[in-house]
Chain A
Amino acid sequence: MIPSFLLANTPIPRDLPLPLPLPEGLLKTLLVLFFLIHILFVNLMVGGSVLVVVAEWLGRKRRRWDSLAHAIAKTVTVNKSLAVVMGIGPLLCINLVYTMQWYSANALTGHAWLMIVPLVTVAFLLTYLHKYTWDRWAQGPKKTLHHANGIAAMLLFLFIPLIFLANVNLMLFPSEWEKVRGFFSSLRIGNVLPRYLHFMAASIAMTGLFLAGWFGRKSSDLSHLPGFTRPELRRIFYRVTALVTLAQFGFGPLLLFTLPAVGITPQLYAIIFSGAAVGLLTLIVLALELRASDEHIGRHYGWICALFTLVVLGMGSGRHVYREAALHPHQAAIQERTQSYAAALAEFQKAQVGKPAPAEPDANQLFMNCAACHAPNTKLVGPPLTEIAQIYAGNPEGIVTWAMAPGKKRPEMPQMPPFAHLGEASLRKIAELMLEKGKAP
């Protein structure tokens, strides 16, 4: 049963009258999986753009960091393309399963939602510009411009996720929708900002782990990174991952404890805390790696990735469990309203079938098609009937011919639309009525 508090201030829309193309449970599983793949590349794109800026900044004093920044920048342009294309799958699923909540959240933050298109486009173009001008804009003021370009791209990448987060968050709380006045006010609903911190930290941790593997591969060519050894690069990025993951032990609880109570369940706690426990284990393995000697560092990379995958799966499922719990009453209410609307509609249609077929419309009814523009004595849109009766006196066929394919005679009036669809017989009835009405004094 629908809790009464929900009904008081929650809009209950009707769902679209078409079935889902897949079982709902399957769509939800796909949603969680596709989303995690998408968010991985988003993390690498966002985190990468931050690390590029930091490394380029360090590179202003020590050259070797500049080459490293360039090498990271090359990964960002690839990851950003994958981030976009991988986003389509989860978007497809969320549209289907949460049609009513998702599109409503989009509409309520509409300007920002639409701005995603130009903002992301500009951010992408900037990352290309940054990458392809690296060697040409290498000195003096041009280098400053180059660095500023990287910072501009980074700032865009830092801002855009906020729009997505605001939407994903807003869709969870239909009872709050009436308070929303556009994007910025939507940030006050739920706990968008703790979510954002959590996401940013995850982005940097993921990117650190990715780069530790990317530069740590035996096959990777480090000749363009003079001044760095492979173990050193591994250590740098492991350290980034470890430090930020440690910080997540602050952001995670902040996120969890600021979540609105509506979707909190014991199951959610179980999932989140198991995830956190695996996170702790990951940190320990990371610490072991960092202490390992140059020959041995990197041996546990596979393990760390596997553990991280478990953490991410845990967090992804936790998110889903929360969403399910938060939206369950609303989904149920929508379903109920949709069904009763369908029932009322079906009843109406059944009653219509029983009714006798409408009689042929008489001339007066047919004339209603013309009455909006032609009045008896005054000019509305077209000439009054008195005038028509003068022109076509004794010639109803003339009216019929004109109505089938009207032209434009009077410059001060709009052209009449054709009425061929009424058929000649009906037009003839109308014409006779017009002539009669127009005759009357």
Chain B
Amino acid sequence: MDFPSYYLDHVAGGRLIIGLIASLHVLINHPLAVGAYPILTFMEWWAHKHGRKDVDELAYKITFIVFIVTTTVGAMTGVGIWLSTSLFAPFAIGSLLRVFFWGWFIEWLVFISEVVLIMGWFLSWKKADTTEKKKKHIRIGLALSIMSWLTMALIVAVLGFMMKPGEWSQTRAFWDAMTNPLYLPQLGFRTFFALMTGAVFVWFASFFFTRDRDRSKPQGQRLRKWLVYRLSHVVLVSLVMTLLFGNWYWHNVPEVMKANSAVALLSQQFMGWHSKFASLLGWTLGAFLVIAIAGLSFSSLVPRWALLIPSFMGIWLLGHFERAREFMRKPWVIGDYLYSNAVHKDELAFLQSEGLLKHATYVKHREVTEANQVECGQDIFMLACSRCHSTTGLNGVIEKFGLMYGDDKAWDSSGMLTFIQGMHQTRTFMPPFPGNEKEAQALVAYIQHLRTTREPLQGAQTIGIDAAPLPATADNHVTQQ
């Protein structure tokens, strides 16, 4: 509430945009960087050891694709997560940066070396023409694989922290934030998932570089057989490990959340996701298993399109995983510390007693009156609801109340008021309403007004800001002096 609200009404605040950028980033990072670099380095090493120029050549061509994609879309979506969260949840990313500065700082140094190494590795590949140079070149690939994994290993700490800050809630210490309870299982899950999808990616990409022009000399066929046989092993081993770590992870979450959350319902909400996730996980792992076993013994029978099945299921699984992770975290953006609408846990009662408008920075009025009720309600909506809800669009409040009270009937304002004040009890993924009674009434008035007018709500990027003068209260000596 202390930042101007960037707001896109039709896409429900902006979670969707953060989600799209972040998912695209993960889909590039996991298979193409974390997963593929070690596999490609292995190919280069093996080719050197056995004098197989064709394997080296194939590894180089696939690295070209990885190089282009990771240094453009991969790098920019990584920065994009930051740019988009800075628009939609500046309070959250701002807080995370203060908690995780050292993690991010080290990650930055690792990332610099990753970028330098990928450029060095790819651009010097053809120049490594002696045994000495080749050995050095392979070592660059190895270093790159390690750095690439490390960037993920550092960032996963932040993801686990946002769901379950662990000891940090008491100590506020960086180290406790890094070693949050969900860290290791999630890291293991992501590592092997990356290797598994990375192997399928390399396998898929190899189809395009192993086509035989001369059918009487099936060199491409032979090369592909060599590769697929080995990749099948990678898929099989990673599959088992993904399953083990995935289980550890998923069985950890509810216990931890139950123990620390007064709202036991959250785990029940989670159980619904859990069963869907479990069946999807089962089908996806099954698809990887079938492909891997086929690759071990009769790889020539595996058509190119068949690889797309586990790949797409993997994408779906990962997307679902990220979504479930986000959902389970609700109503928090930082577990047990900061609600998703920027209200801190420890200031909730204060704001409910004093009023949200009184202490907000960007509002038109400080007090709700008969005359300004709808305008105040709109500001309340922007402050308390707009990070997740749109007005009439996706995840819109009109749609939500329509589901409850019926689209064709009048909505009972006193019922709405009761609902808003107790919604965190009935919908435990919602944060408690952070204002006083008059402000809740203003919100109801705005929603009723919105229902008839269906006026789209504009963000600060379009209509600018209002900053009503601060009242001379305890919170604000500034104006008194």
> Which A positions have Cβ atoms within 8 angstroms of B?
1-2, 7, 10-22, 78, 81-82, 84-89, 91-92, 95-96, 99-100, 103-104, 106-111, 113-114, 116-117, 120-121, 124-125, 128, 177-183, 333, 336-337, 340-341, 343-345, 347-349, 352, 368-369, 371-373, 375, 380-381, 414, 417-422
Contact = CB atoms under 8 A, between A and B. Distances in A.
Contact of A128 (B72, B84, B99, B422): B72
Contacts of B99: 18, 21
A348 B344 CA distance: 15
Contact of A420 (B71, B108, B172, B268): B268
Interface stretch (B156-164, B288-296, B317-325, B463-471): B463-471
20 contacts: A7-B478, A7-B479, A18-B99, A84-B79, A110-B87, A116-B79, A117-B79, A120-B76, A121-B73, A333-B478, A336-B477, A341-B359, A344-B475, A348-B354, A349-B346, A368-B421, A372-B418, A381-B415, A418-B268, A419-B425
B86 interface: yes
Contacts of A371: 415, 418
B97 A96 contact: yes
Given A81-B115, A89-B108, A341-B359, A107 B405 contact: no
A18 B415 contact: no
Given A106-B6, A106-B83, A107-B461, 8 more contacts: A11-B362, A92-B97, A110-B6, A117-B79, A128-B68, A177-B4, A340-B476, A341-B359
Interface residues of B, number: 90
A345 B462 contact: no
Contact of B426 (A21, A82, A419): A419
Q: What 5 A-B pairs are tightest by C-beta distance, nearest first?
A: A372-B419, A13-B2, A21-B101, A110-B461, A117-B80
B62 to A, nearest CB: 16
B465 A337 contact: no
Contacts of A181: 462-464
Given A114-B84, A345-B346, A372 B416 contact: yes
A24 to B, nearest CB: 12
At the interface, is chain A mostly helix, strand, loop or mixed?
Answer: helix
B426 A117 contact: no
A82 B87 CA distance: 25
Interface string B114-141: 0110010001000000000000000000
Interface in B407-460: 412, 415-416, 418-419, 421-423, 425-428, 459-460
A11 B72 CA distance: 38
Given A18-B95, A381-B404, A106 B462 contact: no
B98 A106 contact: no
B112 interface: yes
A14 B2 contact: yes
A99 B101 CA distance: 13
A16 B101 CA distance: 15
Contacts of A125: 68, 72-73
A82 B108 CA distance: 12
Contact of A381 (B359, B405, B427, B474): B405
A13 B475 CA distance: 12
B96 to A, nearest CB: 9
A103 B460 contact: no
A104 B108 contact: no
- Of the candidates B77, B93, B104, B346, the one having the most CB atoms from chain A within 10 angstroms of its own CB is B104
Given A18-B99, A380-B405, A420-B265, A91 B82 contact: yes
Nearest to B115: A85
A369 B426 contact: yes
B249 to A, nearest CB: 24
Nearest to B470: A12
A107 B460 contact: yes
A11 B467 contact: yes
B256 interface: no
B262 to A, nearest CB: 8
Contacts of B350: 344-345, 348-349
B72 A92 contact: no
Nearest to A86: B112
